[in-house]
Amino acid sequence: MNTAPTRPRLLIARAIFPEVIDRLTPFFDVDSNQADDVLSATQMATRLVDKQGLLCTASDVIDAPLLAQCHALRICANMAVGFGNLDLAALSARGVVATHTPGVLSDTTADFGFALLMAAARRTGEAERCVREGRWHKWSYDFMAGQDVHGSTLGILGMGRIGQGVARRGAHGFGMRVIYHNRNRLDAAGEASIPARFVDMDTLLRESDHLVLTVAHSAATHHVIDAQALARMKRTATLVNIARGGVVDEDALIEALCNGVIAAAALDVFENEPAVHPALVSLPNVVLTPHMASASRATRLRMAHLAADNLLAYFQTGRALTPVPPLSPSLPA
Ligand code: GLV
């Protein structure tokens, strides 16, 4: 690749590892937002207007009004496996390639999903707050009694790499019976290796002791966990969301947690993040974390390198390595 003077111009929209920027600077004119402020739509348009490449994160909204101002843009490399922040139709209409970072974060995210499941079921957040706030005065037979994880039924909605990772942890580590629902059924060998049983949505809701959401957010999965779905769950159930906030109707979940429709929840993602619904903050039976399921240092570094690899491959060969899949995921009825 010719490195000068016609280097493509690249915007790195949020702070990333300096070593990844160092890899890119020989090949691109880099404008990097190492200050790490989340750029407003106007700031993003101003900085992106003359760029051919963009490295962005799940908190950057790349939509039609922005793209209408950025005619030079050829590739948008999202440093996330999810891509709900990208308007894929608008990108494709303008011939802009969109890429994401599948695979490199699956195990780290599955680890965290399981940590949240344990925390919600065994009430560790609530218990820790109690100790720190000096409210632990005596042992009682039902003090902080939660739900068992070992030997229970683990439900997974969305059986991609992350869902399978959570399922394996449950089946192999905790002797859980795994059921799942997904737009595509795994093949027999895939199901046997976990082992996991494909069920319809109703069975998933009714039989799960712990339900983990790892499904992609799309029009088909928006608010798939609503008041009716929650009402079909066990009163002792826990719900874990490591997918996207929009998969759960947050108002309905708050009602359900207040009224004992389900026992507990753990949320790493929110409908309006980084804003968190004040009612969630005041509820004892929900664990709240700041969209950090992939946040191990090694995995975040792998994600940044994969986004950079996509940019380099695209400008060197015309082909990106991990383009966003063409069809948005949906669930069977
Ligand atoms: C994180 O949420 C991701 O999509 O990578």
Q: Where are the alpha helices (DSSP H) in the chain?
A: 18-24, 41-48, 64-67, 88-93, 106-122, 124-132, 161-168, 174, 188-193, 201-207, 227-231, 250-258, 278-282, 297-317
Place of tokens 């000068």: 4
Instruction: Summarize the confidence of residues 215-229 as an average pLDDT.
Output: 95
Among 83, 107, 109, which residue has the most ligand 1 atoms within 8 Å of its CB, making it the best to mutate? Answer: 109
HSE (side-chain half, CA atoms, 13 Å) at 229 = 21
Mean pLDDT value across the chain: 95
**Which one is the CATH code of 106-288: 3.30.70.600, 3.50.50.60, 3.40.50.720, 2.60.40.1120?**
3.40.50.720
The atom number, within ligand 1, closest to the CA of 82 reads 4
Q: Which DSSP letter does residue 94 get? A: T
Give CA separation, 281 vs 5, 210, 234, 238, in Å.
53, 21, 23, 17
Map out the domains of the chain as residue ranges.
9-102+297-317, 106-288
Confidence class of residue 325 from pLDDT cuts 50, 70 and 90? confident
Work out the number of other CB atoms within 10 angstroms of the CB of residue 215. 27
pLDDT digits (tens, 9 = 90+) for 270-292: 999 999 999 999 999 999 999 99
Confidence class of residue 28 from pLDDT cuts 50, 70 and 90? very high
| d(C-alpha 265, C-alpha 230), whole Å | 11
The atom number, within ligand 1, closest to the CA of 303 reads 5
| d(C-alpha 240, C-alpha 190), whole Å | 23
Q: Which residues are catalytic?
A: 244, 273, 291
Q: Residue whose CA is closest, atom 5 of ligand 1?
A: 80
330: pLDDT strictly greater than 60: no
333: pLDDT strictly greater than 80: no
HSE (side-chain half, CA atoms, 13 Å) at 70 = 31
User: What is the 269 CA–ligand 1 centroid distance (Å)?
Assistant: 10
Superfamily grouping for domain 9-102+297-317 = NAD(P)-binding Rossmann-like Domain (3.40.50.720)
Are the CB atoms for 213 and 239 separated by under 8 Å?
yes
CA neighbor of 101 nearest in space, from 80, 120, 86: 80
Confidence class of residue 51 from pLDDT cuts 50, 70 and 90? very high
Among 294, 306, 322, which residue has the most ligand 1 atoms within 8 Å of its CB, making it the best to mutate? Answer: 294
pLDDT at position 326 is 74
Q: Do domains 9-102+297-317 and 106-288 have the same CATH topology?
A: yes
Are the CB atoms for 19 and 61 separated by under 8 Å?
no
pLDDT at position 2 is 52
User: What is the 83 CA–ligand 1 centroid distance (Å)?
Assistant: 8
pLDDT at position 11 is 98
327: pLDDT strictly greater than 70: no
Are the CB atoms for 218 and 86 separated by under 8 Å?
no
**Residue 304 Cβ contacting ligand 1 at under 6 Å:** no
Global pTM value: 0.94
Q: Residue whose CA is closest, atom 1 of ligand 1?
A: 80
Angle subtended by helix axes 106-122 and 161-168, to nearest 10: 50
Residue 89: phi and psi, rounded to 5, are -65, -45
| d(C-alpha 290, C-alpha 276), whole Å | 9
User: What is the 37 CA–ligand 1 centroid distance (Å)?
Assistant: 19
pLDDT at position 156 is 98
pLDDT digits (tens, 9 = 90+) for 60-89: 999 999 999 999 999 999 999 999 999 999
Confidence class of residue 332 from pLDDT cuts 50, 70 and 90? very low
The atom number, within ligand 1, closest to the CA of 244 reads 2
- Chain centroid to CA 235: 26
**Residue 110 Cβ contacting ligand 1 at under 6 Å:** no
User: What is the 109 CA–ligand 1 centroid distance (Å)?
Assistant: 9
**Sign of the CA dihedral with 259 first, then 284, 295, and 109 last:** negative
Omega within 30 of 0 (cis) for the link into 5:
yes
**Residue 56 Cβ contacting ligand 1 at under 6 Å:** no
User: What is the 44 CA–ligand 1 centroid distance (Å)?
Assistant: 21
Are the CB atoms for 265 and 238 separated by under 8 Å?
yes
**Residue 58 Cβ contacting ligand 1 at under 6 Å:** yes
**Residue 80 Cβ contacting ligand 1 at under 6 Å:** yes
297: pLDDT strictly greater than 70: yes
Among 78, 105, 267, 273, which residue has the most ligand 1 atoms within 8 Å of its CB, making it the best to mutate? Answer: 105
CA neighbor of 294 nearest in space, from 332, 263, 268, 322: 268
Q: What is the DSSP secondary-structure string of 149-164?
A: -TTSEEEEES-SHHHH
Q: Which two tokens stand for residue 187?
A: 């093949």
**Residue 82 Cβ contacting ligand 1 at under 6 Å:** yes
Are the CB atoms for 194 and 168 separated by under 8 Å?
yes
Instruction: Summarize the confidence of residues 89-103 as an average pLDDT.
Output: 97
pLDDT digits (tens, 9 = 90+) for 158-194: 999 999 999 999 999 999 999 999 999 999 999 999 9
User: What is the 243 CA–ligand 1 centroid distance (Å)?
Assistant: 8
